[in-house]
Amino acid sequence: MTVSDTALIVIDAQESFRQRPYWRDEDVATYIDRQQALIDGARKAGISVVRIFHVEASGPFSEASGFVTTLAPLHIEPAVTFRKQRHSALVGSGLDVWLVEHGIRRVIVSGIRTEQCCETTTRHASDLGYEVDYVGEATLTFPMTDRTGREWSAAEIRARTELVLEDRFARIATVEEALAGALRKAA
């Protein structure tokens, strides 16, 4: 694999989430820092950056809302942008076709929400035969309450997601490990 065989997928890093009642600011600065480092590192290494937006017919995820824009202050200069209506970025968006057409065999997954679209896309990509690096520190999620009333913190959800993905569907990597892996394979 080479850097030209690799794509960074930035999933749903969009302003729509700030409009949701579960939005919390506490982890955002760290997420933005790690996500931007991954984007900048990928761009510097010559890895294609793919931006994914989630869209719905109404509400803050609708195109008409004006919130289907990159989450500030992230700066992305993507090779391509796709819109999806499902949890997996590989369903109905055209991403799957683009990856094949561009000879991509390895994907680096990042974005929002850790346990939903990022995890689902990771599993789907693995099942399709892609080598996957899941960069949990470059994902963002929010606390959730289960049916018994227990609140799960964002850190617990991130840990659980990494647990179930590791060595089954993906290599769990830091920003630096994901970028180094792409560069090592290119050498």
By CB atoms closer than 10 A (0-12, 13-18, 19+), residue 77 is exposed
pLDDT tens sequence across 136-153:
999 999 999 999 999 999
Give this prediction's pTM.
0.95
- Dihedral sign from CA coordinates of 39, 127, 112, 102: positive
Q: Grade residue 85 by pLDDT with cuts at 50, 70 and 90.
A: very high
- Residue pair 9/131 in contact (Cβ under 8 Å)? The answer is no
Mean pLDDT across the stretch 19-43? 97
Bridge-based pairing of strands 151-152 and 144-145 is: antiparallel
Q: Grade residue 2 by pLDDT with cuts at 50, 70 and 90.
A: low
Domain positions in the chain are 3-186
Residue range 3-186 in CATH 3.40.50.850: yes
Bridge-based pairing of strands 131-140 and 106-112 is: parallel
By CB atoms closer than 10 A (0-12, 13-18, 19+), residue 29 is exposed
Q: How far apart are the first and last CA of the chain?
A: 9
Which residue matches tokens 């294609």? 48
Tokens of 142: 């929010």
Checking if the pLDDT of 1 tops 70, the result is no
